[in-house]
Amino acid sequence: MAEFELITRIRQRAATRDDVILGIGDDAALLQPPTGHQLVVAMDTLNAGVHFPRATAAADIGWKALAVNLSDLAAMGAEPAWCTLSLSLPESDEDWLDGFLDGFLELAAQHRVALVGGDTTRGPLSVCVTVHGFVEPGRALRRDAARVGDTVWVSGTLGDAAAALALLESGAIPAVDTLRQRLDRPTPRIALGRALSGLAHACIDVSDGLLADLDHVCEASGVGMRIALDRLPASDALGTACDDDARASFQASGGDDYELAFTAPTATDGEILAAAANAGVPVSRVGEVVVGERVRAFAADGCEWQPRHRGHIHFDG
Amino acid sequence: MAEFELITRIRQRAATRDDVILGIGDDAALLQPPTGHQLVVAMDTLNAGVHFPRATAAADIGWKALAVNLSDLAAMGAEPAWCTLSLSLPESDEDWLDGFLDGFLELAAQHRVALVGGDTTRGPLSVCVTVHGFVEPGRALRRDAARVGDTVWVSGTLGDAAAALALLESGAIPAVDTLRQRLDRPTPRIALGRALSGLAHACIDVSDGLLADLDHVCEASGVGMRIALDRLPASDALGTACDDDARASFQASGGDDYELAFTAPTATDGEILAAAANAGVPVSRVGEVVVGERVRAFAADGCEWQPRHRGHIHFDG
């Protein structure tokens, strides 16, 4: 297929929305933002061999490329609307593209996101996505809004994706089906982000590892945090797959969870629990915001935990 | 530098605007679109060795990555406002990044475009940019708006960038300084696009080659075109650098010009010329829209011209 055939194929499968005046096929997309809202824009790239194992199924790459971007909108409390996709492919491969679109468009449909533009180019396999959403003025969840005394919360379970990657790299593929689903098909917590919008204080999605991500919140907000390691939520699969030390490390420092970590005044604990129940996502109290500069994590015996590294660091050479 | 240091460096140099509520540094950017406007979004990637020669200076890559995106907004008649940047780098290189930002931010400043987000990742050198702009409802320049009887216009001169690339590949580097500037530092015709908005009918930017790009307009509009080869505008440098046959080929089929090709009712010829004069860009009448299906180009002797290929085709293997 030539480039234009690839684009035609994508165009034929992409859904639209009433607020898309002009989607794929012109020099740019023409969109109608709703009045009285702010626009929320996130952009993330996944490169083969860096952000996903090269053997990952095309459909999983498609899903994940959109999921990590939607997760950023969730962390802002935004309602998603549109996305653009720039796909670099080493060669034109119809079957691969169809598989990729299966995963990408399945997740897009779940959140009523219209694919409205982008490009296809020749190059090493790389997927760049930009997502657009909306939030009511004053209700965005920002990193700089944590306040001393807030409770620190985390959604879902932590560490599954990092454990899956470690097990995959050690060759233990058959053992990790449940965990691998968490690595390959992360769930952007859109409904939870919307429910927390205007209720929680600060929020971030856990992509680099809980402690590393919460450090960003501390820095932006000018606060510290104390996290109780034994309160970090773990899946049954993670408990079965590794010992306690490895589990704690995956939970505190593993990346790719795409859960939400957020802070809220202690007085709103009941409202937070009700909002999470409405969104269908469990949330756990894992610590508190204190005077300080960064996150400190403590084991059940009261000893401070010193991770080997706090999260994924790129470009550390 | 670690990833966060790269982002900090970008953040320190990026300018902002009043309508940027939250720029680089959170999970997503928070932006305030103007009321009563439509949002225009374009996204284009440049890969090393595909879209620019690997030896291209970092500042030129930065400039071009933004320029090709702004050119898409120009072709819609939009006013640019914000952009996001996803930069994949094989290794962290402070000097390269500074050079890249020199070119990128120089062009951004010329058009008051704020860099509001994106990411940096490890991977083969690749630059993905998404640009956002606005247009008044009903005034966007679309590919599907050409009408039989319209005059076909082109801005600036054609063929310079393709000639530069051909000369570079043949090793004739010293001879092509003037042309090379057109390849490395294309000028997005923003002011012209704004001036044509609500006045011209269809518009497209010349990125793949004039005939190939006008074919898209013909297809979208359900029309044909007749183009007079001897009316295609050429720079003095192009005339000096090659013979008449090569010149015609570069002008008609060469890519990377980023001029605007547009159609307008013949009765508005005077207004078009005045608008272009206001925008400071020469425009040339090169043909007419006719009943038909695609573009046909004719030489001065009346013979139809058959190009070897009509423009850049990716993925043609």
A86 contacts B45? CB cut-off 8 A:
yes
Could you tell me what percent of chain A has a pLDDT over 70?
Answer: 95
- Residue A315, pLDDT > 50, answer no
CA distances from B270 to A242, B155, B232, B278, B283 (A): 76, 15, 19, 12, 12
pLDDT band at B4 (very low <50, low <70, confident <90, very high): confident
Q: Give dist(CA A98, CA A3) in Å, integer.
A: 15
Whether residues A56 and A22 fall in one domain: yes
Whether residues A8 and A125 fall in one domain: yes
Which pLDDT belongs to residue A130?
A: 98
Which pLDDT belongs to residue B312?
A: 52
| Chain A CB contacts of B144 below 8 Å | 26
- pLDDT tens for A204-256 read 999 999 999 999 999 999 999 999 999 999 999 999 888 988 999 999 999 99
Q: Is residue B119 part of a domain?
A: yes
Which pLDDT belongs to residue B310?
A: 62
CA distances from A215 to A96, A148, A294, B58 (A): 38, 14, 5, 32
Whether residues B177 and B242 fall in one domain: yes
Whether residues A160 and A301 fall in one domain: yes
Q: Is residue B144 part of a domain?
A: no
Decide which of B79, B100, B135 is a domain's last residue: B135
pLDDT band at B317 (very low <50, low <70, confident <90, very high): very low
Global ipTM: 0.94
Which pLDDT belongs to residue A317?
A: 25
The partner residue sitting opposite B119, judged by closest CB among A43, A82, A220, is A43
pLDDT band at B222 (very low <50, low <70, confident <90, very high): very high
Torsion angles phi and psi, residue A257, rounded to 5: -80, -35
Q: What total number of domains does chain A contain?
A: 2
Q: Is residue A311 part of a domain?
A: no
Which pLDDT belongs to residue B315?
A: 40
Q: Give dist(CA A201, CA B1) in Å, integer.
A: 31
Question: To 5 degrees, how large is the angle CA B98–CA B99–CA B103?
Answer: 115
Which pLDDT belongs to residue B178?
A: 87
pLDDT, averaged across chain B: 93
* H-helix segments, A170-307: 177-184, 190-196, 210-221, 236-241, 244-253, 269-279
Whether residues B131 and B154 fall in one domain: no
pTM for this one? 0.94
The partner residue sitting opposite A28, judged by closest CB among B1, B28, B72, is B72
- Residue window 215-274, chain A: list those with CB within 8 Å of chain B: 220
Whether residues B115 and B58 fall in one domain: yes
Which pLDDT belongs to residue A185?
A: 95
Whether residues B116 and B197 fall in one domain: no
Decide which of A78, A111, A135 is a domain's last residue: A135
- Residue A174, pLDDT > 80, answer no
Rg (CA), chain A: 20
Cβ–Cβ contact B16 with A under 8 A:
no
Q: Is residue B74 part of a domain?
A: yes
Q: Is residue B131 part of a domain?
A: yes
- What CATH number has the domain bearing residue A198? 3.90.650.10
Across the beta sheet with A260-264, the strand order is A203-205, A260-264, A151-155, A283-290, A224-228, A295-298, A304-305
Whether residues A99 and A175 fall in one domain: no
- Residue A2, pLDDT > 80, answer no
pLDDT band at A308 (very low <50, low <70, confident <90, very high): low
- pLDDT tens for B36-54 read 999 999 999 999 988 888 8
A32 contacts B39? CB cut-off 8 A:
yes
Domain range for residue B15? 3-135
Q: Give me the mean pLDDT over the B221-236 stretch.
A: 97
Cβ–Cβ contact B300 with A under 8 A:
no
Distance from CA of A256 to the nearest CA of B (A): 14
- Residue A130 near residue A113 (C-beta atoms within 8 A): no
Whether residues A110 and A179 fall in one domain: no
Q: Give me the mean pLDDT over the B135-157 stretch.
A: 98
- Residue B313, pLDDT > 90, answer no
Which pLDDT belongs to residue A141?
A: 98
- pLDDT tens for A189-207 read 999 999 999 999 999 999 9
Whether residues A104 and A165 fall in one domain: no
Cβ–Cβ contact A200 with B under 8 A:
no
Q: Give me the mean pLDDT over the A177-187 stretch.
A: 92
Distance from CA of B312 to the nearest CA of A (A): 10
- What CATH number has the domain bearing residue A40? 3.30.1330.10
Q: Is residue A316 part of a domain?
A: no
Q: Is residue A140 part of a domain?
A: no
Decide which of B135, B170, B199 is a domain's last residue: B135
Whether residues A121 and A229 fall in one domain: no
Q: Is residue A256 part of a domain?
A: yes
Distance from CA of A300 to the nearest CA of B (A): 31
- Residue A273, pLDDT > 60, answer yes
- pLDDT tens for A87-117 read 999 988 889 999 999 999 999 999 999 999 9
Which pLDDT belongs to residue A49?
A: 87
- Residue B111: alpha-carbon gap to chain centroid: 14
For residue B310, give the amino acid letter: R
Whether residues A127 and A154 fall in one domain: no
Q: Give me the mean pLDDT over the B113-130 stretch.
A: 95
Which pLDDT belongs to residue B176?
A: 61
